[in-house]
Amino acid sequence: MMRTLTQPLIILWTALRRIFASPLAGLLNILVIGIALSLPAGMYVLLQNAQGLVAQLSGPQQISLFLALDASQEDIAQLRTQLSRHPAIASVKFVSRNDALEELKQSSGLDDVIAGLESNPLPDAFVIVPKPGSAKSLDELRTALQNMPKVEQAQHDSAWAYKLDALLSFARVAVFILSGLLSLALIAITFNTIRLQILTQRDEIQVAKLIGASNGFIRRPFLFFGALQGLLGGITALLIISTSLLLLQPPLATLSRLYASNFSLQPLSLGDVLSLLLFSVYLGLLGAWLSVSRHLSHVESH
């Protein structure tokens, strides 16, 4: 039982010693992996922060519903009930035509002109804050609201939302492509590193095969090596990203004050950190598995 528990620890310790058998080469491999992982992960962090900045600067999205002038109190009450129950709407605010006229007086400074009007030309209105969604969903909501009874016009400026959606979609695809390319590079790095380890232990592997060792037994130490190297590379990537964010915070704080904002860069969430570490371990395992499998198939074929 004790042997079963200690054997993985022994293999792990052996893998760690092999990584730093040549300290400079081991550190350089880990640094290369960390830098490669930090590039797409850093772009992801900046993308997440950019979304927060845009949301802060633009404020909540709103749709204004202008009612027909002949809308009765009963019509308004029914419409308010429908809007409050709509699954895509976060909040609803009613602005009466009298309140709208009073606000126009205060904001325009045209009291004399407005006082000379025979009747109030402004309609009753609802100001709607929709739940977060894409520009397309906002347009669909606006169209649905436009078709409601006693709604004269539903107004929403979605042009900026479409531009933002397109920009963020482009950035997401760029991050995805970069992640894919760098993942292949990391697999290749681990593959070659493990291949060199295998070549130095080629005679041991052949002897082990002759005395009946299974492929799993031979493969296990190298898989530990690849996983550990990937994990150390992931930790290095996190250190690079955290350091970069700390260095960017002071100039960003100065820029935010100039625009009367309190925006600051947010680090990776705990879920993102765990995902990055698991992904780096997976890449290390995959590179190691491919390298060992290739060698074992070559040994068995001869």
Q: What is the CATH classification number for the domain harbouring 143?
A: 3.30.70.3040
In terms of pLDDT, which residue wins out, 261 or 221?
221
53 and 97 co-located in one domain: no
With a pLDDT cut of 90, the percent of the chain lying above it is: 5
pLDDT tens per residue, range 157-189: 656 666 776 777 788 888 888 888 888 888 888
| Long-range contacts at 238-244 (CB < 8 A, ≥ 24 apart) | 238/268, 238/273, 238/276, 238/277, 239/34, 240/34, 240/35, 240/38, 240/42, 241/38, 241/41, 241/42, 241/45, 241/267, 241/268, 242/267, 244/38, 244/42
Enclosing domain of residue 105: 62-155
Judge whether residue 2 has pLDDT over 50.
Answer: no
Check whether residue 210 and residue 233 sit in a common domain: yes
**pLDDT for 56-96, tens place per residue?**
555 567 888 888 888 888 888 888 888 888 888 888 888 88
Vertex 285: Cα angle to 284 and 286 (nearest 5): 90
Does 122 share its domain with 95?
A: yes
pLDDT in tens, 17-64: 666 666 677 788 888 888 888 888 888 888 888 776 665 555 567 888
Q: Is the pLDDT of residue 115 over 70?
A: no
User: Does residue 178 share a domain with residue 227?
Assistant: yes
Residue 235: closest CA among 27, 59, 9 = 27
